[in-house]
Amino acid sequence: MTSSHSRPDWLRTHTCGELREANVGQSVVLNGWVDARRDHGGIYFVDLRDRYGITQVTLTPEQSDALPFSTEFVLGVHGKVVQRENPNPDRPTGLIEVRTERIEVLSPSPTPPIDIIDNLDAAVDTRLRYRYLDLRRGPLQRNLIHRSKFIASIRRAFEDQEFIEVETPVLTRATPEGARDYLVPSRVHPGQFYALPQSPQIFKQILMVAGYDRYFQVARCFRDEDLRADRQPEFTQLDMEMSFVHEEDVFAVWEGVMGRAFRENMGLELPQTFPRMRWEEAMDRFGSDKPDTRFGMELVDLAEWVPTCEFRVFQGALEAGGRVMAIRVPGGGSSVSRGQLKSLESAAKDLGAKGLAWWKPGEEGGAAGPVAKFMDGAVGEELLALTAVDGATTDGDLLLFGADAERIVWRVLGDLRLRLARQLDLLPPATGDGAQWNFLWVTHFPMFEFDEAAGRYFSSHHPFTCPEDETLGGDEPDVSKLVSRAYDLVLNGWELGSGSIRIHRQDVQARVFELLGIDASEQQLKFGFLLEALSYGAPPHGGFAVGLDRLVALTLGLDSIRDVVAFPKTTSAADLMCGAPSRVAPDQLAEVHVAPAGKALERDGSA
């Protein structure tokens, strides 16, 4: 009786990606899945697959007949490595094959409901239902391996800069200002609930108050929101915070981190520093706080030109305190059809515009557009000079105008700019040769935003963001004009993450809550412990968080984060594989002192 376990003889000696010419003549054991099998000239060929590669195995008809198997069976193959007669140069193992001496089935498989192939065309729900088969496919394996290595690089970059990883609670307190929380009823405290964190924001600030100086965490976060295609109810962010810093210190850390992750995983050298741009400049030039700077078609302010033009709509917009701006679409005179202009106008209207003025300076009559008649002579010449890209003026261009309240002009032209870039194929490839990685820091965001529906101001970032002016405009501030020390990191038009220098003074924090309409007693109830913590010697601090699912997807050129998440949920937040959420036994609910209510009762009257 020994406590050691002897090695089973079917255990692999090599992986399916490992054998080379140098191994010829060796006796080996391989374990793997049957990727394909074919019969050719009286020999059976099997492609045996594992995570590391594919190796060709040959069987005699007798061996094959003695042990029936088909694709996705798991085999143990004992054999000898031999030179291949017909080498396959596309495969690292392509110079050899394994001549079977003995074979055994380690696990059988029926025909799988989806094919284990790279270019699968199957319904999303089927893929999610059989996720263990979907995850066997090459692209998903490569994505998840890349994800693991990419995040490992990021983590090491933080560790090597003296950041320490601290794990913050998942069972925590409901977030008063933010998205909807996931709630967890307490068994020990009847009628009370934990909430899953939307981010570790308050905990990381507490860690700064506690003197940890440099914190990071790969943190799971939760938001119970209606999901769009590229959102998940739980997601992973690289969360970090630093003490005794200003904006440039945070930027420098992240530039180093991204540089390392791109170098180690993609062989790319990013610039040592990323451009910085004020929020207002981003809006004015790109109509977006997350500008895609990989192409031009920037917005042009026409305020000085408008008085020379007799088009009343433009003048009216300026008189009403709004803006008039244009984008110039190179070659759009011919590449953008009348039909496309119609759909662009309809998009503009959906975004709040009253219409869409356009001008094709190279065309005549109606084809030149409804506002062409205001562009005669010097007026038009001047406009073409103003909007010229790199000094070049082409007759065949298209000009699109926005004339409205500033927010609407930005929103509409920013959106049309992106639409046209896609339609006209102006974007470089998302990955591989020719891909561009335009990182950009956007800074100086507005402190507050007015929410029309709620009829009050909300924090643009979050209520812990430090204002540029710590007096907050004094006693009678114009809240709409206050600028914050928030910043975003943008990559190719995607917001990768956001952060800010935080408020470290209790009085400033209390004043910000006040401006948000949270009175002293509500502050105590909701944020009492944070205000108290800030009172005990809080260091100036700031931080940042990056959504890792999105970042990893972008580095792979993927649109959807679903292909970089091992077990994603559907847009109705369901896990189709394991069947979550699900009904639970009534006594489980009774233990945590809740009962079904509302719609839960309608559907299940007996509960």
- Compute the least distance from the CB of residue 489 to a second copy, in Å: 13
With respect to a second copy, which residue has the nearer C-beta, 100 or 387? 100
Window 530 to 549, contacts with a second copy (CB under 8 A) = 533-540
Segment interacting with a second copy (CB under 8 A) among 80-88, 213-221, 371-379, 407-415 = 213-221
Task: Say if residue 75 carries a ligand binding annotation.
Answer: no
With respect to a second copy, which residue has the nearer C-beta, 206 or 554? 206
Distances (CA, A) of 215 to 17, 153, 164, 194, 197: 39, 17, 5, 24, 17
Interface pick for a second copy out of 189, 338, 354, 456 (rule CB under 8 A): 189
Task: Say if residue 505 carries a ligand binding annotation.
Answer: no
Segment interacting with a second copy (CB under 8 A) among 257-265, 365-373, 447-455, 527-535 = 527-535
With respect to a second copy, which residue has the nearer C-beta, 408 or 530? 530
With respect to a second copy, which residue has the nearer C-beta, 84 or 146? 146
With respect to a second copy, which residue has the nearer C-beta, 175 or 492? 175
Site string for a second copy, 442-471 (x = CB under 8 A): -xx---------------------------
Shortest CA distance to 511 belongs to which of 520, 502, 524? 520
Distances (CA, A) of 491 to 18, 286, 294, 445, 554: 37, 14, 10, 17, 9
Amino acid (one-letter) located at 264: E
Distances (CA, A) of 581 to 135, 163, 198, 361, 576: 22, 37, 20, 58, 9
Site string for a second copy, 242-281 (x = CB under 8 A): -xxxxxx---------------------------xxx--x
Interface pick for a second copy out of 98, 157, 209, 357 (rule CB under 8 A): 209
Query: Counting contacts by CB under 8 A, is residue 508 touching a second copy?
Result: no
With respect to a second copy, which residue has the nearer C-beta, 50 or 397? 50
Segment interacting with a second copy (CB under 8 A) among 206-214, 292-300, 334-342, 351-359 = 206-214
Window 124 to 143, contacts with a second copy (CB under 8 A) = 130-133, 135-136, 141
Residue 291 and residue 277 in contact, taking contact as beta carbons nearer than 8 Å? yes
Q: How far apart are the first and last CA of the chain?
A: 54
Query: Counting contacts by CB under 8 A, is residue 424 touching a second copy?
Result: no
Residue 143 and residue 554 in contact, taking contact as beta carbons nearer than 8 Å? no
Q: What is the dihedral of CA 202, 208, 214, 218, to 10 degrees?
A: -20
With respect to a second copy, which residue has the nearer C-beta, 473 or 539? 539
Distance in angstroms (rounded) separating the CA atoms of residues 469 and 505 = 13
Q: Which two tokens stand for residue 431?
A: 């990955």
Shortest CA distance to 490 belongs to which of 267, 262, 254? 254
Window 50 to 89, contacts with a second copy (CB under 8 A) = 50-52, 72-74
With respect to a second copy, which residue has the nearer C-beta, 310 or 468? 468
Task: Say if residue 462 carries a ligand binding annotation.
Answer: no
Query: Counting contacts by CB under 8 A, is residue 481 touching a second copy?
Result: no
Interface pick for a second copy out of 152, 313, 388, 427 (rule CB under 8 A): 152
Task: Say if residue 310 carries a ligand binding annotation.
Answer: no
Assign 402 to helix, strand or coil. strand
Task: Say if residue 177 carries a ligand binding annotation.
Answer: yes
Per DSSP, 72 falls in state T
The residues that bridge with 27 in the sheet, in sequence order, are: 80
Segment interacting with a second copy (CB under 8 A) among 60-68, 329-337, 416-424, 594-602 = 594-602
Distance in angstroms (rounded) separating the CA atoms of residues 509 and 197 = 21
Distance in angstroms (rounded) separating the CA atoms of residues 48 and 59 = 12
The CA-based angle 359-362-367, given to 5 degrees, is 60
Query: Counting contacts by CB under 8 A, is residue 396 touching a second copy?
Result: no
Interface pick for a second copy out of 89, 321, 366, 598 (rule CB under 8 A): 598
- Compute the least distance from the CB of residue 217 to a second copy, in Å: 10
Query: Counting contacts by CB under 8 A, is residue 206 touching a second copy?
Result: yes
With respect to a second copy, which residue has the nearer C-beta, 30 or 398? 30
Distance in angstroms (rounded) separating the CA atoms of residues 485 and 468 = 6
Phi-psi label, residue 493: left if phi above 0, alpha if psi -120 to 50, beta otherwise: left
Window 281 to 320, contacts with a second copy (CB under 8 A) = 281
Q: Which two tokens stand for residue 559?
A: 């649109």
Residues 6+ apart with CB under 8 A from 135: 141, 144, 566
Residue ranges for the known binding site are 177, 223-225, 232, 461, 495, 502, 547-550
Residue ranges for the known binding site for L-aspartate are 177, 223, 461, 502
